[in-house]
Amino acid sequence: MNRHLSRSFAYKGRGSAPILVALALAGILSCGQSKHASGIEELPVPEPDLPEVPKLPVSPHPITYADGSFSLYGLRRQMDRHIGDPVAVTAFIVGHYVPPKCTGKDCAKPAKPHLWLADNAGEADSNKRLTVVGYAEYNDEARRRGLGALPEGQRVRVQGTFTQVSASGFNASNGLIEYRSHESISAR
């Protein structure tokens, strides 16, 4: 039976050889003909018609300042690289948390003291602000020693840990700073 199968394959192989030779010869002979003689129309070369490259606005804030501290813009731009790292941020204090006044018995417990920084003084857009938590201990100590609190409008360099969830329970998907220290840069 195996002999029978090998003969049938050999026979089929012999029949296809003349067809392959004829096709190869036809291909070789047609290679010398021009495109126009074969009936193929030559199309013009297309020229791309693309819009101009858009001009993106340049950020008004650098990623880092000369002293190595970040702007808020720069820190958030490199957020994935610095989560959990100690960082220094130079920015303006644009707000303090003020606990809501409550006169009834069913008052909610207020959040711990915190403040907001921004690259621009007086920034109202909450998406362009960075929360700083844990500075209350400094504030209490500063008051005891007769030092002023951190006033709004003050430009400061804050050192702390850049994180998304603080040890005191604050969380922010675009990051926050757990306060360690600060220094004033300029007055209003």
Residue 164 located in a structural domain: yes
Residue 181 located in a structural domain: yes
- What is the pLDDT at residue 147? 43
- What is the pLDDT at residue 22? 65
The 3-state DSSP class for residue 37 equals coil
For Cα atoms 62, 64, 70, give the angle at the middle one, nearest 5 degrees. 110
- Are 61 and 76 in contact by the 8 Å Cβ rule? The answer is no
CA distance 114 to 101: 17
Distances (CA, A) of 44 to 17, 35, 47, 169: 41, 14, 9, 67
Residue 15 located in a structural domain: no
- What is the pLDDT at residue 160? 93
Q: Which domain holds residue 78?
A: 72-186
- Give me the number of domains the chain comprises: 1
Task: Output the domain CATH number for residue 166.
Answer: 2.40.50.140
> Percent of the chain scored above 70 by pLDDT?
71
- What is the pLDDT at residue 187? 47
Dihedrals φ, ψ of 176, to 5°? -150, 165
Query: Residue 119: pLDDT above 90?
Result: yes
Residue 123 located in a structural domain: yes
Query: Residue 36: pLDDT above 60?
Result: no
Each residue of 41-57: pLDDT tens digit?
888 999 989 999 888 88
Place of tokens 């994935």: 80
- Are 97 and 113 in contact by the 8 Å Cβ rule? The answer is yes
- What is the pLDDT at residue 69? 92
Confidence tier at 138 by pLDDT (50, 70, 90): low
Enumerate residues 6+ apart whose C-beta is below 8 A from 148. Answer: 142
Residue 55 located in a structural domain: no
- What is the pLDDT at residue 86? 93
Each residue of 139-172: pLDDT tens digit?
665 555 444 567 788 899 999 999 998 887 888 8
Across the range 128-148, mean pLDDT stands at: 68
Pairing, β 171-186 against β 129-133: parallel
